[in-house]
């Protein structure tokens, strides 16, 4: 063996272990530099509505703080807040916005307050018809724990809001966004004001957001206030328990909403709000559609099953064009309520038959079967309905959530 060959072998013997060590270190450094990526998902939502012709939504907020309590449905370590002036008649300026952890009612957890900024500024002016989203806020969010969002507004004009929030919002004169106690908050309203969404920064393994599109039953009317007992909340809790960190559920229900017609005090028909209340949501992947009974109740002689079905087909087609799954829910019983008619009942039965048998939806949720009395199927099962015989009570809403097969979302 020549001296050159011998030296080459010696060098190789020395260098190979060194190279292996460097390569190993390189892989280690790469893995440290590339942690599991996260993403934004919609964790809470409220469908915005037009102001009424009188009352607080018409008169607006004047040098007051409005404090709102919401419950996101996804864990994360950052959040961002969506504000909407979609139905305002002029620009509105929010002089200060704050988010904190809720203790109870208008009280907040001392030390949890975070100032909310928009493009680095504490004050934000939103033009009429527009929306805005805050800068990311570093804050640990846990699903099903309440957050408090406080807005200080000097002179708003008519308000974009969400009626019948089933959660009290609190008003104080002057700027009290950072108060921990409730002393300044002397009045309350059953509504959310301007606040229409919260996104959470969470694990990339989360599949996305399920949006519930519906009317007052989706909205949770007649559930117990301040307890988050709407059926979409109950569904979110089931998912978090049985399929943790997989899906967020947001509620795009509107009290009184319809498939076929718009009404001034209730809002656009569903198709006209679909882009805003579903397709624009952060990381939306699926829709649950539960609507049509208001059309049948309010106009039983003018509304046919075919009218409802044609409109549902449009919504299904639009959802599929946006590459979303859409699940159809049957319409529950309503005999005994103030607007019940035998003609409307026949229409409801025909619509439900189509939902169950048409294969038009990506899956079916049979709320009618869950809620109806087996002995008198045009009426609610005893113990499941509110006093109006149209809305479920807390027990009925929980039964609706329990009836949903979670295998739909695997």
> If you average pLDDT over residues 116-135, what whole number do you get?
98
pLDDT greater than 60 at residue 6: no
pLDDT at 34: 35
Query: How many Å apart are CA 68 and CA 225, to the nearest integer?
Result: 13
pLDDT at 232: 99
> If you average pLDDT over residues 52-78, what whole number do you get?
98
Q: Which long-range contacts (CB under 8 A, 24 or more apart) does 345-354 make?
A: 345/378, 347/296, 347/300, 347/303, 347/304, 347/305, 347/308, 348/293, 348/296, 350/305, 351/292, 351/296, 351/305, 351/308, 351/309, 354/305, 354/309
Contact 389, 380 (CB under 8 A): yes
pLDDT greater than 60 at residue 66: yes
pLDDT greater than 90 at residue 283: yes
pLDDT at 144: 86
The percent of residues in the chain predicted with pLDDT above 90, rounded, is 90
Contact 174, 64 (CB under 8 A): yes
Query: How many Å apart are CA 247 and CA 237, to the nearest integer?
Result: 10
Contact 49, 267 (CB under 8 A): yes
> If you average pLDDT over residues 372-387, what whole number do you get?
98
pLDDT at 265: 75
CA-closest candidate to residue 39, choices 240, 209, 222:
209
pLDDT greater than 90 at residue 133: yes
CATH number 3.40.190.10 given to 207-409 = no
């Amino acid at each position: 063996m020549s001296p050159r060959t011998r030296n080459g072998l010696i060098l190789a013997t020395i260098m190979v272990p060194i190279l292996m060590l460097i390569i190993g270190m390189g892989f280690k450094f790469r893995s440290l530099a590339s942690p599991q990526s996260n993403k934004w998902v919609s964790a809470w939502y409220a469908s915005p509505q037009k102001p009424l012709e009188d009352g607080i939504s018409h008169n607006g907020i004047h040098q007051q703080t409005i404090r709102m309590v919401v419950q996101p449905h996804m864990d994360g370590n950052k959040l961002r807040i969506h504000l909407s002036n979609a139905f305002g008649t002029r620009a509105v300026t929010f002089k200060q916005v704050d988010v904190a952890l809720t203790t109870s009612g208008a009280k907040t957890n001392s030390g949890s307050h975070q100032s909310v900024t928009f493009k680095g500024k504490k004050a934000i002016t939103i033009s009429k018809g527009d929306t805005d989203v805050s800068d990311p806020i570093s804050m640990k969010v846990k699903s099903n724990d309440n957050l408090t969002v406080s807005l200080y507004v000097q002179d708003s004009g008519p308000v974009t809001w969400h009626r019948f929030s089933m959660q009290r919002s609190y008003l104080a004169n002057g700027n009290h966004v950072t108060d921990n106690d409730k002393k300044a908050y002397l009045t309350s309203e059953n509504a959310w004001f301007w606040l229409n969404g919260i996104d959470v920064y969470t694990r990339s393994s989360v599949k996305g957001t399920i949006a519930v599109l519906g009317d007052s039953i989706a909205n949770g009317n007649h559930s117990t206030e301040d307890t988050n007992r709407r059926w979409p909340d109950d569904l979110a809790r089931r998912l978090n328990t049985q399929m943790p960190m997989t899906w967020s559920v947001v509620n795009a229900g509107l009290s009184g909403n319809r498939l076929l017609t718009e009404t001034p005090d209730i809002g656009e028909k569903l198709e006209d709000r679909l882009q805003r209340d579903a397709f624009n949501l952060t990381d939306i992947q699926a829709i649950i559609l539960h609507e049509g009974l208001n059309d049948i109740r309010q106009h039983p002689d003018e509304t046919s099953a075919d009218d409802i079905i044609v409109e549902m087909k449009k919504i299904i087609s639009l959802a599929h064009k946006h590459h979303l799954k859409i699940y159809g829910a049957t319409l529950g019983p309503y005999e005994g309520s103030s607007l019940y008619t035998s003609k409307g009942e026949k229409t409801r039965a025909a619509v439900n038959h189509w939902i169950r048998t048409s294969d038009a939806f990506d899956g079916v949720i049979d709320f009618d079967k869950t809620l109806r009395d087996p002995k008198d199927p045009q009426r609610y099962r005893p113990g499941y309905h509110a006093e109006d015989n149209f809305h479920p009570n807390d027990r009925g809403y929980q039964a609706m959530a329990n009836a949903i097969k979670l295998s739909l979302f695997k």
